[in-house]
Structure formats: C-alpha cells, structure tokens
Chain A
Amino acid sequence: MATASGGMESARNGLWEPHYHHDVIATRTLGFWLYMLSDAMIFAGLFAAYGVLSHSYNAAGGPRLHALVHPWSAYAETLAVFASVLAYGGVMVALKRASRAGVLGGLVAAFVLGAAFVGLEIHDFAALFHAGIYPQESGYLSAFFALVMTHGIHMAFGLLWMATMFFQVATQGFTDKTVYRLLNLKLFWHFQAILWVLVYIFVDMRGVL
C-alpha cells in the first residue's frame, strides 16, 4: 500500500497514510491540542481546589475574595487579553496571505498587548503583597493565588514563545516548522483567552458581587 503512486490509489488505501508520513503540520497541531486539553485539566484541578477552599472557614479569619479583586482592573486585563488574541488572529490572517511583514507586525502587537496584561496582573499582585496579603495566609488565599498565577505564568510563557517565533519567522520565513509552531501558538494563545473568561467571571466578578 505504501507503493501506491496515484493520488486516487493512496486515498483509497489507509486514511492515515498521507497524514502520518507527510502531514507534519496536522500531526503536530493535533498533538499540541491534546496537550492543551491535558493542561486544561490542571486548570480544572485548580478551579476545583478554589471552589472547595472558598468556604469562609478556609479563609482562616483572613481576607476573603471581596478584598482581593478590583472590577475595573480585571476588566482592563480582559481587554488586554482579548486585544492580544485578536492581534494574534491578525498574525494568522497575514500567514494565510504569506505576508512575512504582517506576521512579524502582528506578533509585536500581540506581544505588547499580552505584556500589558502581565504588567497589570503583576501590579495587582504587588498591591496585594503590599497590603500584607500572601498565599501562605490561608488555604483560601493559596488556592486564589495558585489559580490566578498559573494563568499569569501561562501568559508569560506565551510571550516568550511569541518572541521566539518573531526571530524564527524573521530568519527562516515560512517553513513547515515555523508554520506549525505559529499554528500551535495560536491554539495556546486563544486557549488562554478562554481560561481568562473563566477566571474573570468565577474569581473576579464573583468577588465583586
């Protein structure tokens, strides 16, 4: 079956033949997607821990959610994440049009907006630490910081990945490797927007309520 020469013939023989042997991009994006789903399980664990530890006795008399969140700051962070995700959508559109300058420009925009998010979050954490609110204060605060910081660390790694892709696309152009990496970064970055919606609603907005 591997000797089939015609396109019709290979299409009739095993479905995976062309994909498994030649379609590096599809194989690696699906593999990375499955990794993202397992990464999402980590967030499910953190949300579960947060839900369980948000009973008042877990705050051990310390500050509760209402004291930790600021609605407008969370809203500004939301706008930064969504705008960065939209800018990365621009990277994908430029990729489709084979515009190297467009991809590089989009990566810079997505990076700057993503960095704005991380900067706002660091500012929020600094304010909490300044007020003497630390993760070790209570089980509740541990769960809060673990959840929000894990998302923040994901965002920071996304920025590192964007910077890497900027140099790879600038130096190598559009090869199989750079294209599947850009597609994987798209999955990663767009997934962070989904996770942020859950953090924003179930941590920040719930705390404001």
Chain B
Amino acid sequence: MAHDAHDPLKHPEVRLVNGRAYAAAFVLATALMTAALGIATHPGIIPHAMLALAGVAALAVAIQLIFLLQLDFSSTQIWTTVSFVLAFPLFVIAVGLSMWMFHSLDARTMLMALMR
C-alpha cells in the first residue's frame, strides 16, 4: 500500500476511470435530449408532454450520475454516493416547497389574481 501511494496513477479513483461508461453516458443522454426536443417541438405527439419531459430529465440525470460520476457502493465511491443521497432530499425540499408555497399563495390571495 505504501509504495502505491507514491504513484498517484495507481490511486483507486484513477483506476475507477471507465471509458465505456463515459461513452454510454454520452450516447444515452444525447438520445434522451433528442427525444426531449422531439416531444417539445411536436406537442401533440405524446399526452402529458411536460410530465414526459420531466421523466426524460430524471432518466438522463440518473444515467449521468451512474456512468459519469460513477456513484456506486464500491469502497472507493461509497461516501460520494452517501453524501449525494443525503443531499438529494435537500434539493427536492428547496425547489418543491418553494414552488408549492407560492402556488398556494397564488391560489389563496386576491392580489395575485388581480395582478393577472
């Protein structure tokens, strides 16, 4: 272990690099973004287009997290994955609660309706 430490290229995080995973992320994410362009420019093509777009985004983000950032449960990556899993609800709360709060404010106050 000690002699490995002197060669930074033998570090597990360098060994983790996976060219095929990066190529897969590129191909899959590009295909999904192309599909999103199709959905958005042909609104009649699919019901609930915005919901479908959100699904496409979620799938693309998941693919990139797994193939690009290589979030997994290996001993090298476990804390990267855990810290993301712990932070993720904070993103959902920050965006979701803010939008819900203002949406209900919009629905419950006359002021917003008058300004429309």
Q: Does B98 contact A (CB under 8 A)?
A: yes
B binding-site residues for A, Cβ under 8 Å: 1-2, 5, 8-9, 11-15, 17, 19, 22-23, 25-26, 29-30, 33-34, 36-37, 39-41, 43, 49-50, 53-54, 56-57, 60-61, 64-65, 68-69, 76, 79-80, 83-84, 87, 90-91, 94-95, 98-99, 102, 106, 112, 115-116
Q: What is the interface residue range for chain A against chain B?
A: 35 or more
Stretch at the interface among A121-129, A158-166, A188-196: A188-196
State whether A44 and B90 are in contact (beta carbons under 8 Å apart), knowing that A29-B13, A82-B29, A90-B19 are contacts in the complex.
yes
Q: Mark A31-47, 1 if CB is under 8 A from B, else 0.
A: 00110010011001101
Q: Does A145 contact B (CB under 8 A)?
A: no
Complex A-B: 19 CB contacts under 8 Å: A7-B1, A45-B94, A48-B99, A85-B25, A85-B68, A86-B25, A92-B22, A98-B9, A175-B8, A179-B8, A180-B8, A183-B13, A190-B68, A194-B65, A197-B33, A198-B57, A201-B54, A205-B39, A209-B53
State whether A95 and B9 are in contact (beta carbons under 8 Å apart), knowing that A41-B90, A71-B40, A89-B68 are contacts in the complex.
yes
